[in-house]
Chains A and B, each alone.
Chain A
Amino acid sequence: MISVFARREIYSGFVTPLPWIIFSTGQIVLAWIFLQVIERFSSLDAAARQMSLTQELTLNLFGFAAIITMLTAPILAMRMFSSEFRDGSFDLIAAAPVRFGSVVIGKLLGLMILILPLCLLPALNALLLIGTAELDLWQLAAATLGLFLATLLFAAIGLYASSLTAQPGAAVLIAFAMMLLLSIIGHAKTLTTNTLSLFEWLSWNEHLFWFLLGTVRMSDLAYFLLFTLFFLLLTQRRLVNRRL
């Protein structure tokens, strides 16, 4: 049943112009950053270079791609529940013999497949340099994994926000607010003692940073997966509570 929802979301997504506009705009922005990184790197003397080219690419290109997916996920997610509540088409699913868990996972899967090209774009851009520059492919793979996991979290937040309201615009704003909170919460550590790093741990960008450096840590994997699961469970509960 999961695949039924995933396929439906992928098909419905690609017949609308939205994903195509997002991918082309994303590629234009990423290509601009890619060229800037190359130009800045090649203009420096070998002695003046503080980071390798791969590191420059992962921190700038992949870091910016994460911002793009953060902005994109709620926009693509808004039609998954919000629009269906508004149009009344969710009644079709609610009256069918399906579990809400399958609906949520199916829609997340569909959403991830819709955004996947955006997660792969930075790596594809970087791979253009193979043969002309020395690249650390493992670091690129780790950065791609980090970007994918961060996007998974954004998609889960987008889905949860979408399940909260029948107004798609409001769903996008709610998702942005939640992600903004998770982005800046790391700065709250300055308000507390230096040893207490809970706020820092809650911030997604702190975890993505390690992936971009090429380090895959269990704690970072656990952060993304646990938070994704948390928002998916909230979405499922929200759908169940709509029946009350």
Chain B
Amino acid sequence: MTTTTIETTAVRPPRTGFALSQKQVWGLLFVAPYIAIFMAFVVFPVGYAFWLARDPQLYVELVHDPIFLRTAINTLVFLIVAINVKMVIALFVSGFFTNKRWWVKILSVLFVLPWAVPSIPTILSMRFMLNPEWGVINQLIFTLTTEDGPNWLNDPTLALALSMVVHIWKSLPFWTLILLAGRLAIPHELYEAASVDGAGSWHRFAYITWPSISTLYVTCTLLSMIFTVGDFNSVYLLTGGGPADLTHVLSTLGIRYLRLDQVGLAMASIVCCLPFVLPLVFFMMKRLSK
């Protein structure tokens, strides 16, 4: 195909547009594999999903499902609490890692482990730590207080809170590294000047660090929010949505409906979420595709 293009254009008298159009043909060829993947595995599935979710009756059914309402609230709580707690800790810890001491450097290398290793073994490890009878946490509580610890994952509030802890454990390193990169990009002279003026650490943070990285901080928070809507592992591997389907978030609920062979409901639950997620996505795209 390419050779024919070259031959037919070669007959024409050379002009400036020739190189350009050949470049365009090559451009299309180079981008074709991605377009093919995008069509087959994004456009088609999404289109199909909307087609499956077209029946208005599905939404009536969804709203009448108490698990769906509970899930919507859980997801909202998860997003607001877990992400803000995580980002504040990341902001604080990234400041700690700007220290140049040798042991802080070693610690910063170890600190990335939760992010680098697969979720499944570590989350299952935490799940076992929380086991009411054999788990190390309740054993510790028993040795210290001679009383039985709580049945952690059997209480919906505790279980959801612990899923948030798992989520924070897993993704804190990533956001800390990004905020650390942001902090390290601040010119050092600013801090030196502030020291000369006798500014304490709080003033240095409030007048130099925060103004320099606040945009980055907000970007990270929003980005983390979008990603966390899709966080399946933290909840599914720790609580499985239980007890009594009270700790589902949107990402695990869709899979639950799928397992119950209610694909329409699964799609409808995702479509319901789009009015909240899409504005965030467009906002982020505007911010990042300058």
| Bind each other | no
